Amino acid sequence: MVLRKPNFLLDENLNRLAKWLRLLGYDAAVYKSISFHNAIRLANREHRIFLTRSRKLATSNQKFSRRLIMSVDHRDQLKELNDIVTVKEEYLFSRCILCNKKLFDISKEKIKELIPEFVYESLDEFKLCRKCGRIFWKGSHYKAIKKELKYLLTV
Ligand SMILES: [Zn+2]
């Protein structure tokens, strides 16, 4: 059982996996073009688990938490983490999948002009990323994504 929600640091080539982890509500940082040395420093300082596809990094004798990701497909990559990652309803859609920033509740009246009318009419809960300005809501795609995430993480 996972007591504390883990934070992650991912290799640049694991960007799609990072997006899925953010969908699940995990802090999944991807730093572009940083040295191995700096990645380890960050992982240690911010208590992140370093996810990498590089066997060399994964087997380094330096001290930091890491996990070697074997699969190529991001769905299989997510499955590899099913012992430390879970689907929790309250965490879903709590983080921007692009910026990795926490989302904030926003009243729908404030964003009426920015969303499709049928979405405005049928839903009440909206979230805003203050960094990129994107608005998220639990539309028809939400159920499909949730189902797939549950499937991947429980089989
Ligand atoms: Zn954002």
Q: Three-state secondary structure along 14-48?
A: HHHHHHHHHHCCCCEEECCCCCHHHHHHHHHHCCE
**Mean pLDDT across 139-151:** 89
* Residue corresponding to tokens 């926490």: 102
pLDDT band at 90 (very low <50, low <70, confident <90, very high): confident
In angstroms, what is the span from residue 98 Cα to ligand 1's centroid? 5
In angstroms, what is the span from residue 104 Cα to ligand 1's centroid? 11
In angstroms, what is the span from residue 3 Cα to ligand 1's centroid? 27
Q: Which pairing describes strands 126-128 and 104-106: parallel, antiparallel, or unpaired?
A: antiparallel
**Is there a contact between 58 and 66 (Cβ–Cβ < 8 Å)?**
yes
pLDDT of residue 128: 97
In angstroms, what is the span from residue 85 Cα to ligand 1's centroid? 22
In angstroms, what is the span from residue 118 Cα to ligand 1's centroid? 23
Least confident among 2-11, 39-48, 62-71, 79-88:
2-11
In angstroms, what is the span from residue 128 Cα to ligand 1's centroid? 8
In angstroms, what is the span from residue 93 Cα to ligand 1's centroid? 12
**Mean pLDDT across 9-14:** 94
pLDDT digits (tens, 9 = 90+) for 46-58: 999 999 999 988 8
Q: What is the pTM of this model?
A: 0.90
pLDDT band at 110 (very low <50, low <70, confident <90, very high): very high
Domain ranges of the chain: 7-91, 104-154
In angstroms, what is the span from residue 135 Cα to ligand 1's centroid? 8
